[in-house]
A and B are shown apart, each in its own frame.
Chain A
């Protein structure tokens, strides 16, 4: 089964920009993996921020964006806010094998 990799932790300054990445052990991540990004704050349920690479929900702050970058899925946070401190998970779908989550990135805004 494929392994999906994320940075275990990242730190960004308030107002700064950070890119979280999501890689696949099988090779380049493409739109065919339908990358998803989730945000989970301590003690809360996860919520979906980005679906199908770069689509946002109505509740997704404009400062978040999703893309493909250098063979990986990427979540860019531009203008980080203290409330963005959270765990972020990506999810990739593999035809025939189903979905695989990454291990999560703990984002600190400091």
Chain B
């Protein structure tokens, strides 16, 4: 069955960067885009962008353009989301999701605090 396993919680200082990983299994990794979504405490869901694991091409929401980088390693069926210039309002749960069926990972909590 499709499974998305994400890296653990991170505590970062303002201005730092964070890199979250997401390992996919149960389907052919390069067949479908992989998306990143985040949810700040008490807020709604926010689509951040997606990566095509086959070509490596990316599409980012304009809100994150210039601060987010999505990459992949096809040898280990893993995608990465790196967010730079962290601010306190980047504190959120970050989820990856498959492009087919939108199977969500368990989430990775990123806390930005001085």
A interface residues, Cβ below 8 angstroms from B: 1, 36, 38, 40, 45-48, 51, 55, 57, 89, 91, 98-104
Q: Give every chain A residue within 8 A of B93 (Cβ-Cβ).
A: 45
- The complex places the Cα of A48 from the Cα of B106 at a distance, in Å, of 12
Which residue from chain A places its CB closest to the CB of B101 in the assembled complex?
A: A51
- The complex places the Cα of A45 from the Cα of B96 at a distance, in Å, of 12
Dominant secondary structure at the A interface: strand
Place the interface of chain B in its size category.
20 to 34
- The complex places the Cα of A38 from the Cα of B44 at a distance, in Å, of 11
Closest CB of chain B to A93's CB: distance in Å? 9
- The complex places the Cα of A102 from the Cα of B43 at a distance, in Å, of 12
Q: Give every chain A residue within 8 A of B62 (Cβ-Cβ).
A: 1
